Amino acid sequence: MAYLCPTFNLINICMSYNLLKGKKGIIFGALNDQSIAWKVAEKAHEEGAVFTLSNTAVALRLGTLDELAKKTNSEIIHADATNVAEIEKVFARTMEIYGGKIDFVLHSIGMSPNVRKGIPYDNIDYPNFLKTLDISALSFHKMLQVARKMDAINEWGSVVALSYVAAQRTLFGYNDMADAKSLLESIARSFGYIYGRDKKIRINTISQSPTRTTAGSGVSGIDTLIDFTERMSPLGNASAEDCADYCITMFSDLTKKVTMQNLFHDGGFSSMGMSYKAITQYNKSFEECD
Ligand SMILES: NC(=O)c1ccc[n+]([C@@H]2O[C@H](COP(=O)([O-])OP(=O)(O)OC[C@H]3O[C@@H](n4cnc5c(N)ncnc54)[C@H](O)[C@@H]3O)[C@@H](O)[C@H]2O)c1
């Protein structure tokens, strides 16, 4: 459907396909308008979905989630995603609002106290490490376990969490978040089997390009990393908006048989070894040394 987009100054045509018409969901992790979850909420709204928004009480104070809630006509339910009782509250209230089961869940949550405090991987603080794993990976298991126990998701529903290629490849500065992402992707496979077998619910992770967001900016050398991956990827980096488009397709009925996958959404970066541009630059650096 083409319609005039009221939020733009210039007349602009927004394409929407009603891909999520009639679908209900929960979006965890929108903090501000840079957040990937924020873009997913905007697109899900455009595509006809209704959903609740969840984040921590602190994030609600520091961020601008109210603005998104107003724009998408959504209710905010605060919860710490490491706390099972609070996750239960989010699912229960969402089902109450929409009068039954939901169809999609986005887990867009990540935080490492070690990264935040600049503590290096080979001198790591273990209580911090456990927090990283709890916030960034176990919270995904907790959501899935709560949803299953409450029988909160309709058949053919879709759950997506956001990951990063550091789960497979070592990237300087990503620290214990790399371990958290490996665990996150593994949970998608392990729970994906059980939830798919019993309830036809699909669980996937989307491995996104480095993106300038609040969490992204915490990674040491993020600007150089973004430049590097932009040059190495044949299609260039995927933006937060591009990621939102991909999430929408994963929530839609067009991807019903996709489950237990880690889906790279990175302009081709994860399949690259050496590009023509990179090898030219590499040779140049030796010429300068000669
Ligand atoms: N930005 C990137 O470069 C990039 C690349 C690949 C994957 N990702 C992943 O995308 C997801 C979203 O991050 P983003 O880049 O949009 O940044 P963001 O900072 O906007 O989002 C991270 C969110 O996690 C929330 N959060 C932190 N601790 C929480 C807790 N205990 N309970 C509930 N929520 C909590 C924050 O409040 C915030 O809303 C994360 O999983 C991140 O690792 C980001």
215-240 pLDDT per residue, tens: 988 887 889 999 999 999 999 999 99
The mean per-residue pLDDT over the stretch 69-95 comes to 98
Ligand 1 site, residue 205, Cβ cutoff 6 A:
no
| Integer Cα distance of 126 and 123 in angstroms | 9
| Integer Cα distance of 124 and 174 in angstroms | 13
Measured at the CA of 35, the angle between CA 31 and CA 39, to 5 degrees, comes to: 115
Ligand 1 site, residue 261, Cβ cutoff 6 A:
no
Ligand 1 site, residue 157, Cβ cutoff 6 A:
no
- Centre of ligand 1 from the C-alpha of residue 285, in Å: 36
| Encoded tokens for 212 | 């300038």
Number of residues assigned to the chain = 290
Q: What are the residues whose beta carbons fall under 8 Å from the beta carbon of 51, sequence distance 6 or more?
A: 24, 25, 26, 27, 41, 44, 45, 72, 74, 94, 104
- Asked if the model's pLDDT at residue 142 lies above 90, the reply is yes
Across the chain, the runs of DSSP E, i.e. the strands, are 2-4, 13-15, 24-28, 50-54, 102-107, 153-163, 202-208, 262-265
- Centre of ligand 1 from the C-alpha of residue 20, in Å: 23
What backbone phi and psi angles, to 5 degrees, belong to 178? -60, -45
Query: Taking the mean position of all CA atoms in its chain, how far away is CA 95?
Result: 22
174-187 pLDDT per residue, tens: 999 999 999 999 99
- Centre of ligand 1 from the C-alpha of residue 235, in Å: 24
Ligand 1 site, residue 184, Cβ cutoff 6 A:
no
Give residue 216's pLDDT. Answer: 87
Closest CA to 148 of 216, 85, 198: 198
- Centre of ligand 1 from the C-alpha of residue 52, in Å: 17
- Asked if the model's pLDDT at residue 31 lies above 80, the reply is yes
What backbone phi and psi angles, to 5 degrees, belong to 201? -100, 135
Q: Return the percentage of the chain with pLDDT > 90, whole number.
A: 84
The mean per-residue pLDDT over the stretch 187-198 comes to 98
Q: Whole-model pTM? A: 0.95
Q: Which residue has the higher pLDDT, 17 or 6?
A: 17
Question: Burial of 89 by CB count in 10 Å (0-12 exposed, 13-18 middle, 19+ buried)?
Answer: middle
The mean per-residue pLDDT over the stretch 247-272 comes to 98
Mutate which of 83, 108, 116, 159 to test ligand 1's pocket (most atoms within 8 Å of Cβ)?
Answer: 108
Place of tokens 């887990």: 107
The mean per-residue pLDDT over the stretch 15-36 comes to 96
Ligand 1 site, residue 259, Cβ cutoff 6 A:
no
Q: What residue owns the CA closest to ligand 1's atom 11?
A: 108
- Centre of ligand 1 from the C-alpha of residue 63, in Å: 13
Closest CA to 77 of 87, 63, 64, 67: 87
